[in-house]
Amino acid sequence: MRVSFKWLQEYVDIPISPAELADRLTMAGLAVEGLEEPGKEISNVVTGRIVKIEPHPNADKLVICLVATGEPELRQIVTGATNVREGHVVPVALEGARLAGGLVIKRAKLRGVESRGMLCSGQELGLDPKTMPADQAHGIMILPADTPLGLDIRSVLGLDDVIFELDLTPNRGDCLSMIGVAREVAALLGQSLRFPRLEVQEMPGSSLEGRVRVDILEPELCRRYVARLFTNVRVGPSPLWMQERLRAAGIRPISNVVDITNYVMLELGQPLHAFDYDRLKDGHIIVRRAHPGEVIVSLDGVERHLEPEMLVIADPGGAVAVAGIMGGLDTEVTENTTTVLLESAYFHPTSIRRTSRALGLRSESSTRFEKGIDLEGCLAAANRAASLLVEIGAGEVVAGAVDNYPSPVARKPIILRPERVGYILGADIPREETVNLLARLGFTVQDAGQDLLVNVPSYRVDINLEIDLIEEVARLYGYDRVPATLPFGVTTRGARTREQSLLKRLKEVLVECGLTEVVTYSFVNPAVFDRFKVPQDSPLRHTLKLQNPLSVEQSVMRTMLLPGLLEVLERNFNRRVTSGAIFEVGRVFLPQGGEALPEERPMLAAAAMGQGAAGWNRSATPLDFYYLKGVLEVLAAKLGLPGLTFEREKENSAFHPGRAARIKAQGETLGIVGELHPDVLEEYELEVRVCAFEVDLAALFALAGKPSQYRPLPRFPGVKRDIALVVSREVPAADVLRVIRRAGGHLLRSVELFDVYEGEQVREGCRSLAFSLLFQADDRTLTDAEVTAQTEAISAALVREVGAELRK
C-alpha cells in the first residue's frame, strides 16, 4: 500500500516529520518498508505554454517551440516530440534544471539552432509510464489548459510529497485505504480524524423508480449490493489533483468516471465499479454464480472461461462482470457513455480469492475483497463517489439508491477484563487508559462492572476475541513502554520425546554415512504413479485430492516418498551431477475410508546413484545395493534395533526382481531396499543404476531400543577361527549368520562372511560359504579348548538347522 503524506494530511493533522511518523507506524504494527520522495532530484522545472511551433530549418524531425513560462520573454526550445501542439501547457526544464536520474539541462545548439531548455516527459520527471495516460506514456507530458504558468512542477504534479510504502499483515485490510491509515495516525498522535464529505447533491424531481433493479441470488457470497445512477455524464480527463493522488498510489488515471471509482477505493477501501447503463439490459443487475461454459471478455480484452462456483454480475442477457475482480468489456465506460450505473458491494473473501486464483487475475479490487471490507461502508462509498462526480462537474446524480442488504448482521460486543490486559502485557495499564486507547481507534466502550463491554466498528473485521482487543491496547500503549520482567508461574523443563530423539539421531547417522537430506513437496502429480510403475490396483493410488490445487503438477497428496527423490536425482543428473546419495524424512498421506482426514504416516526414504567419495584406499565406493544395506545396518546398530534381516522381494514392480529385499526386524516388515527397475529409470531418464529404500518410521521407532553406547576397549586378546561350509544355494547367507550368532553364545563377538564360491569343487545346486569368527571375553584370555568347544557347537547347529556340510 502506497500512502501519500500530503493526502494523509487532508484527514488528520500530523505535527511530526514523515520519518518520525514512519517509526511510529512501524512500532504500532503497520510496517513502513520505505519512504520515497518522488521529486527529490528535480529542480528548476516550471509550467509553460507553447505559443508557437515552427519547423527546424536543418532537421525534418525537429521543431522549434516558443514557450511562455511567465517571464517577460518567450523561451526558444528545440524538441523532437510529436505530441505537442500550440496552446499546450507542458513541463519546461530551464537552463540548469536537474531531472530524475541526475540529468542537468544546459543551453545547447541542435543542428545549428539554439535551445534554452527542454520540454519534459513524465519519465524525465520520475513518473512511472504505467501511471501515465496512454497517449503520454512516452511523449511530452500535457497539463490541463488552465494550469498557471511559471509554477514549480513539483507542486503542480504533487512531487513535493513523501510516499510511505506500507507492508501490511493480511489481517489489516482496513488499512488498505487512506482513511484506515489516517485513523491509525490519529489514534497514535491523539489527533482528530476528518472524514470526507458524503453529502450528495441529487437532481430535483429525479427518481430511480423503475430504472434500476438488483437481485442477489447468492446472498452468502454477496451480502450487500448498492447501486446509484448518474446521468448527463461527460467522460473526460479527471482533475489534475485527482490524477496526482492516483499516480502517487501507483494507479494510472483513465477518465473522470473510472478515476472516481479508484479514488474512492483508495480513500475508503471500498472497491467500486462503473457500468455503462445504456449497455445493461433493462437496468437489471443479477448477482449469481456463472453458468457452466459461460464466457466473458474482461476489460483487459482477455476471454475468460468461467466455472459454476465463480460469482458474476449479470443482466438478463448474460455475465457483465466477474464479481469483485474485473468488469466486462461490453459494459465498459467510454467517451460515448452518458449514463452510468455505479456498483458498491460486499463479496465473500474466500469466493473472490478462489476465483482470482483460478482465472490468474488479480486487481486492486480483488486484493481488498480478499482481506475483507467494511460491510457497513457500501452505501457511504457510493455516496462519496456521487459527491465527487458533482464536485468535478462530470455529471448529475439521480435521487435515491438501491440498497439490497438481505441479512444485516449486528456484531456482538466483546467482554474485556482490564486485569487480563495487565496480566497478558506484563504492564500496569490503568483502566481509564485502556478505555481511552480503544476509543481513539473508534471502538465504543461501556462499563460493565468489573469488566468492559467493547463494541467493535464494522471496518475492523479482524477483531473478534478479547485477546485481539488486548493487542490493540498494546499497539497504542507502545511495546517500548512495557517493562522487562522475569517470567513467573509453573515452569517445565523442555526435553525431546523419545521419537524426537530417535529422529535426531537417525538424521545424524544418515549424514555420517554420506547421505544429504532433501525436502520435497507433499503435493504431487498423479502421473508419478505411472512413472514409478505402481500397479493400477495398488492402494498407493488412492490419494487425497486437493480441492483447490495450484496446478495439476501439485494436485494430490503423496503416498510415497521415493518419486520425489527420483525427481531430485533426475534434476541433478540433467545438470551432469551423476553421483550422490540423498534421503528424506517426511509424511505420506493415506486416505482412511469414511474419515475426513487421512492417516499421516512418517516415512524415511533414500536413493543413491553413481560413485561415492574415495576412501582410505583412494578408490571410489559404489553407491549400490550393498551401500544402502550397510547404511541400514549401521542405522539399526545406532538406534538399538535388534534382529535386522533382509529377505528377497520379487513382487514390487518398481524394483529389480532379483536385486531387492524386504527389510525386516523381529519378524515385522519395515520397508524395502533394492535397485530400481530399468523401466522406472527410463521414465526418469536416468542412465545410471539407482538404488533406494523406503522405511516405515513408526514401525522402526516402535522396535528401536536404546541407542548404542560407549564400551571400553577390550583388555584381553581375542581368538579368530575360520569356518567353511557347503549349503544349498536356496539357503540365504543371512539364515546361516543367524544360526552362527545364536550358537556362538556371549563369547562370539563378531562374525563376517568373507568368501562365497560356486564351482567345480562344489556339487551342483550348492555353494561354499566361509566365515571369520572372533571369540573374546571381558575377564580373561580364552583357551583353545574353550574356543574349540564353541566352534564345534556352531558346526553342529549349522548341520542340524540348515543342512550344512562342513569343509575340512
DSSP state of 399: S
3-state secondary structure 29-71: CCEEEEEECCCCCCEEEEEEEEEEEEECCCCCCCEEEEEECCC
The reply, when asked if residue 468 is annotated as ligand binding, is yes
Q: What's the CATH code, domain 213-404?
A: 3.50.40.10
The answer, yes or no, to whether residue 724 has pLDDT greater than 90, is yes
Facing residues of 379 across strands? Answer: none
- Domain ranges, ordered by start, for the chain: 2-37+162-189, 43-156, 213-404, 414-477, 498-703, 719-806
Predicted confidence band at 133 (pLDDT cuts at 50, 70, 90)?
Answer: confident
Instruction: Give me 637's grid cell.
Output: 546398530
Whole-number percent of the chain with pLDDT over 70? 99
The Cα 573–Cα 806 span in angstroms is 48
Architecture per CATH, domain 2-37+162-189, reads as 2-Layer Sandwich (3.30)
Q: What is the pLDDT of residue 713?
A: 87
Can you tell me the mean pLDDT for 316-345?
95
Task: Tell whether residue 462 is among the known ligand binding residues.
Answer: yes
Give the angle 283-284-290 at the CA atoms, nearest 5°.
135
Mean pLDDT of the chain: 92
Contacts of 271 (CB under 8 A, 6+ apart): 261, 265, 324, 364, 365, 368, 369, 373
The pLDDT of residue 616 is above 60: no
Per DSSP, the three-state class of 644 is strand
Domain 43-156 has CATH 2.40.50.140: yes
pTM score of the predicted model: 0.69
Please report how many Cα atoms fall inside a 13 Å half-sphere around the Cα of residue 584, on the Cβ side: 20
Say if residues 344 and 272 touch (Cβ distance below 8 Å): yes
What pLDDT was estimated at residue 705?
A: 83
* Per-residue confidence band for 618, with pLDDT thresholds at 50, 70 and 90: low
Cell numbers that stand for 436 in this block: 481511552
808 pLDDT exceeds 80?
Answer: no
- Which are the contacts of 389, defined by CB distance < 8 A and separation ≥ 6? 230, 233, 256, 257, 260, 395, 397
CATH of 719-806, one of 3.30.70.380, 3.40.50.300, 3.90.1150.10, 3.60.21.10: 3.30.70.380
pLDDT score of 626 more than 60: yes
Q: What are 185's three cell numbers?
A: 495516525
CATH no., domain 414-477? 3.30.56.10
User: Is residue 471 part of an annotated ligand binding site?
Assistant: yes
Question: Do the domains 2-37+162-189 and 414-477 sit in the same CATH topology, yes or no?
Answer: yes
Q: What is the pLDDT of residues 13-46, one digit of tens each?
A: 999 999 999 999 999 999 999 999 998 999 999 9
Whether the pLDDT of residue 138 is over 80: the answer is no
Q: Give the rounded percent of residues in the chain with a pLDDT score beyond 90.
A: 79
Q: Which pLDDT score, from 0 to 100, does residue 119 have?
A: 95
Selected residue with higher pLDDT from 595 and 462? 462
Above 80 in pLDDT, residue 5? yes
Tens digit of each residue's pLDDT (9 = 90 or more) over 629-681? 999 999 998 998 988 889 888 889 999 988 999 999 988 999 999 999 999 99
Please determine, for residue 619, whether its predicted confidence score (pLDDT) is greater than 70: no
For residue 308, the 8-state DSSP code is T
Q: Which three cell numbers stand for residue 173?
A: 485490510
Render pLDDT for 73-119 as a digit per residue (tens, 0 to 9): 999 999 999 889 999 999 999 999 999 888 999 998 898 899 999 99
Pairing verdict, β 118-119 and 222-231: unpaired
pLDDT score of 624 more than 70: yes
Q: Give residue 597's pLDDT.
A: 86
And the C-alpha cell for 40?
527529490
Helices and strands in the chain, H and E counts: 20, 40
Cα–Cα distance measured from residue 23 to residue 31, given in angstroms and rounded to the nearest whole number: 8
Does 712 have pLDDT greater than 90? no
Report which of residues 732 and 163 the model is more confident about.
163
According to DSSP, the residues that pair with 600 across neighbouring strands are: 589
Q: Can you tell me the mean pLDDT for 503-521? A: 95
Please count the residues of the chain. Answer: 808
Which whole-number Å values give the CA distances from 521 to 97, 240, 564, in the listed order?
56, 51, 7
The CA-based diameter of the chain, rounded to the nearest angstrom, is 127
Q: In the CATH scheme, what architecture does the domain 498-703 have?
A: 2-Layer Sandwich (3.30)
User: What is the C-alpha separation between 106 and 620, in angstroms, rounded?
Assistant: 71
Cα–Cα separations (whole angstroms), residue 317 to 208, 223, 275? 21, 23, 15
CB atoms within 10 A of CB 354: 18
